[in-house]
């Protein structure tokens, strides 16, 4: 796929555990922008928190409050406040059940002094050392003790909602928040912390916010790459074209993401961008053929090295490569057969063609290892492949990206490729078919191309009339 925009969550993703942006991440963002790729944020934080990152990194736009408030460097793209009655009901609920609540405006997160402390850098840092199973106990104890010293007043909260409120936060464990959610079916509840729940409008999310930005800037949701680590990133990572889970992310995030990189403190963003060929690795030549660069990135990951000086294949390795291609040709013939008889006939023809080709080549040249001869043959193979697509009326651009993404999924949990000891083919992880098998995506892309052609014919017919 062609990546036209990249979005980063902030906490646990863009920033490391010291609340700073890694130099490798800054360098990666600069490289993205130099390539003409749009870069933005998608976060549960408010615009007031995000603006310093926008300025520091020269970002293009930000989806804040989980999609409720979206802005670029020069304007507000969308603002969707929560309705007043829902806010009054939330405040009443918080009072009745003695729950701390904060309300997010465009300028600040106001209300609970406890939660203001909880969102501070110090609190965010210390929360990493508390086991998730203890979240409910810690949250309940903290709430009970501190609320006596810093009581919350309903009158002050009701005064706050006279201005637009884009997100509410209630101090509650995951179990408690599920009970609250049942009483507010018209609102959406999501989490980026084990201690508090984010409350927004039902039809809003980071994903929908990104979709809205795409309409403004001319990119499709499938042309988006997104990074996240928390459960409020799940919908975003499930819906974009290329989703990356940080190594420090939740298990749920890693299950839905197409790829898991290293942590937010171990150059995770930079490594993922390198992994998918969006950033070129240092000291590695790149070609003007972006398909070549993607395959080179694949071999860089799988072989843990790349060949920078032109060399010819030795006989044994050349046989392996030819064998790989031959298997794909047999699959091609299979997909062009109406019956087993057709397939057997096609394979028999292939055997005959192979013998005929061997006789022809043997009569033309002397057997020797030749870089020129190998390159000439491979370029002709590439040319014939493109010719096959031309005669089928199929555009291979997006299809190549689909297969590339599937091939990049052949990395095992140890971070390396595994090879068959006999055939030398790359093996597939156990979950590869479920997460990366390309056939479904290929079918969708072909259906899109067929529909596009049919639509163009209909348009021509209408113009004639």
| Confidence at residue 369, expressed as pLDDT on a 0 to 100 scale | 93
pLDDT band at 116 (very low <50, low <70, confident <90, very high): low
| Confidence at residue 288, expressed as pLDDT on a 0 to 100 scale | 78
Residues 218 and 310 in one domain: no
| Confidence at residue 280, expressed as pLDDT on a 0 to 100 scale | 67
Residues 147 and 257 in one domain: no
Residues 16 and 70 in one domain: yes
Q: Has residue 385 got a pLDDT over 60? A: yes
d(CA 310, CA 8): 38
Look up the CATH number of the domain holding residue 339.
1.10.3420.10
Among 5-14, 53-62, 200-209, 299-308, the least confident range: 299-308
Tokens of 305: 């090295």
Among 314-318, 417-421, 450-454, the least confident range: 417-421
Q: What percent of the chain shows pLDDT beyond 70?
A: 89
Tokens of 111: 């209300």
Q: What secondary structure, in 3-state letters, does the chain show?
A: CCCCEEEECHHHHHECCCCCECHHHHHHHHHHHHCCCEEEEECCCCHHHHHHHHHHHCCCEEEEHHHCEEEECCCEEEECCCCHHHHHHHHHHHHHCCCCEEEECCCCEEECHHHHHHCCHHHHHHHCCCCHHHHHHHHHHHHHHHHHHCCCCHHHHHHHCCCCCCEEEEECCHHHHHHHHHHCCCEEEECCCCCEEEEEECCCCHHHHHHHHHHHHCCCHHHEEEEECCHHHHHHHHHCCEEEECCCCCHHHHHHCCEECCCCCCCHHHHHHHHCCCCCCCCCCCCCCHHHHHHHHHHHHHHCCCCCCCCCCCHHHHHHHHHHHHHHHHHHHHCCCCCHHHHHHHHHHHHHHHHHHHHHHHHHCCCCCCHHHHHHHHHHHHHHHHHHHHHHCCCCHHHHHHHHHHHHCCCCCCCCCCECCCCCCECCCCCHHHHHCCHHHHHHHHHHHHHHHHHHHHHHHHHHC
Residue 281 lies in a domain: no
Number of structural domains, the chain? Answer: 3
Residues 191 and 208 in one domain: no
Taken as a whole, the chain contains a residue count of: 465
Taking each helix axis from N to C end, the angle separating 174-183 and 135-149, rounded to the nearest 10 degrees, works out to 70
Residue with more model confidence, 114 or 156: 156
Residue with more model confidence, 301 or 452: 452
Q: Which residues of 341-379 are buried (b: 16+ CB within 10 A; e: fewer)?
A: eebeebeeeeeeeeeeeeeeeeeeeeeeeeeeeeeeeee
- How many angstroms separate the Cα of 184 from the Cα of each of 85, 96, 167, 284? 12, 15, 14, 55
Residues 74 and 123 in one domain: no
Residues 320 and 392 in one domain: yes
For the beta carbon of residue 84, count every other beta carbon within 10 angstroms. 13
Residues 404 and 337 in one domain: yes
Look up the CATH number of the domain holding residue 236.
3.40.50.1000
Residues 331 and 450 in one domain: yes
Show the domain range for 135.
Answer: 84-201
d(CA 112, CA 157): 9
Residue 99 lies in a domain: yes
| Confidence at residue 140, expressed as pLDDT on a 0 to 100 scale | 52
pLDDT band at 137 (very low <50, low <70, confident <90, very high): low
Residue that is written with structure tokens 């298997």 in the block: 327
Residue 218 lies in a domain: yes
Are the C-beta atoms of 95 and 89 separated by less than 8 Å? no
d(CA 231, CA 308): 42
Q: What is the pLDDT of residues 420-455, one digit of tens each?
A: 887 777 888 888 888 889 999 999 999 999 999 999
d(CA 193, CA 138): 13
Of 223, 253, 221, 60, give the one whose Cα is nearest residue 244.
Answer: 253
C-alpha gyration radius of the chain: 28
| Confidence at residue 131, expressed as pLDDT on a 0 to 100 scale | 52
| Confidence at residue 141, expressed as pLDDT on a 0 to 100 scale | 56
Residue 282 lies in a domain: no
Residue that is written with structure tokens 């171990």 in the block: 266
Look up the CATH number of the domain holding residue 195.
3.30.1240.10
Residues 390 and 330 in one domain: yes
Single residue among 163, 181, 201 that ends a domain in this structure:
201
Single residue among 246, 276, 306 that ends a domain in this structure:
276
Tokens of 203: 């039809």
Q: What is the pLDDT of residues 213-232, one digit of tens each?
A: 999 999 999 999 999 999 99
How buried is 299 (Cβ within 10 angstroms: 0-12 exposed, 13-18 middle, 19+ buried)? middle
Residues 39 and 183 in one domain: no
Single residue among 147, 175, 201 that ends a domain in this structure:
201
Residue with more model confidence, 374 or 408: 374
Rounded to an integer, the average pLDDT of 272-290 is 77
Residue 286 lies in a domain: no
| Confidence at residue 124, expressed as pLDDT on a 0 to 100 scale | 46
Most confident of 16-30, 265-279, 381-395: 381-395
Residue 385 lies in a domain: yes
Residue that is written with structure tokens 């930005």 in the block: 213
How buried is 251 (Cβ within 10 angstroms: 0-12 exposed, 13-18 middle, 19+ buried)? exposed
Residue 379 lies in a domain: yes
Residues 167 and 209 in one domain: no
Residue 155 lies in a domain: yes
- Centroid of chain to Cα 369: 43
Residues 243 and 208 in one domain: yes
């Amino acid at each position: 796929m062609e990546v036209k925009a990249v979005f980063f969550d902030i906490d646990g993703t863009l920033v490391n555990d010291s609340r700073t942006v890694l130099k490798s991440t800054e360098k990666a963002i600069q490289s993205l922008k130099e390539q003409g790729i749009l870069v933005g944020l998608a976060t549960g934080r408010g615009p007031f928190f995000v603006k310093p990152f926008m300025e520091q990194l020269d970002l293009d736009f930000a989806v804040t409050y989980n999609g409720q408030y979206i802005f670029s460097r020069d304007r507000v793209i969308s603002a969707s406040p929560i309705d007043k009655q829902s806010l009054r009901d939330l405040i009443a609920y918080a009072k009745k059940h003695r729950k701390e609540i904060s309300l997010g405006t465009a300028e600040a997160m106001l209300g609970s002094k406890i939660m203001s402390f909880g969102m501070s850098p110090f609190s965010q840092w210390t929360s990493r050392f508390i086991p998730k199973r203890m979240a409910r106990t810690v949250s309940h104890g903290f709430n009970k003790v501190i609320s006596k010293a810093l009581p919350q007043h309903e009158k002050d909260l009701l005064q706050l909602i006279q201005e637009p409120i884009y997100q509410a936060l209630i101090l509650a464990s995951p179990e408690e928040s599920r009970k609250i959610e049942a009483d507010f079916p018209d609102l959406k509840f999501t989490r980026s912390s084990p201690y508090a729940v984010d409350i927004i409008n039902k039809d809003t999310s980071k994903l929908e916010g990104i979709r809205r930005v795409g309409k403004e800037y001319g990119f499709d949701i499938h042309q988006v790459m997104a990074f996240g680590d928390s459960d409020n990133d799940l919908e975003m990572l499930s819906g974009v074209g290329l989703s990356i889970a940080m190594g420090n992310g939740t298990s749920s995030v890693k299950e839905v993401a197409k790829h898991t990189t290293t942590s937010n403190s171990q150059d995770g963003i930079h490594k993922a961008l390198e992994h998918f060929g969006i950033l070129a690795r240092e000291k590695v030549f790149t070609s003007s053929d972006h398909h070549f660069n993607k395959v080179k990135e694949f071999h860089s990951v799988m072989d843990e090295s790349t060949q920078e000086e032109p060399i010819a294949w030795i006989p044994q390795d050349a046989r392996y490569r030819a064998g790989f291609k031959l298997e794909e040709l047999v699959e091609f013939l299979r997909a062009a057969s109406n019956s087993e008889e057709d397939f057997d006939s096609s394979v028999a023809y292939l055997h005959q063609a192979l013998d005929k080709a061997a006789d022809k080549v043997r009569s033309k040249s002397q057997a020797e290892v030749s870089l020129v001869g190998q390159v000439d043959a491979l370029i002709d193979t590439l040319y014939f492949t493109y010719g096959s697509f031309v005669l089928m009326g199929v555009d291979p651009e997006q299809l190549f990206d689909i297969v590339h993404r599937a091939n990049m999924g052949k990395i095992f949990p140890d971070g390396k490729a595994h090879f068959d000891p006999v055939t030398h083919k790359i093996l597939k992880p156990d979950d590869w078919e479920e997460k990366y098998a390309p056939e479904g995506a290929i079918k969708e892309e072909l259906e899109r191309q067929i529909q596009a052609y049919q639509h163009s014919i209909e348009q021509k017919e209408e113009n004639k009339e």
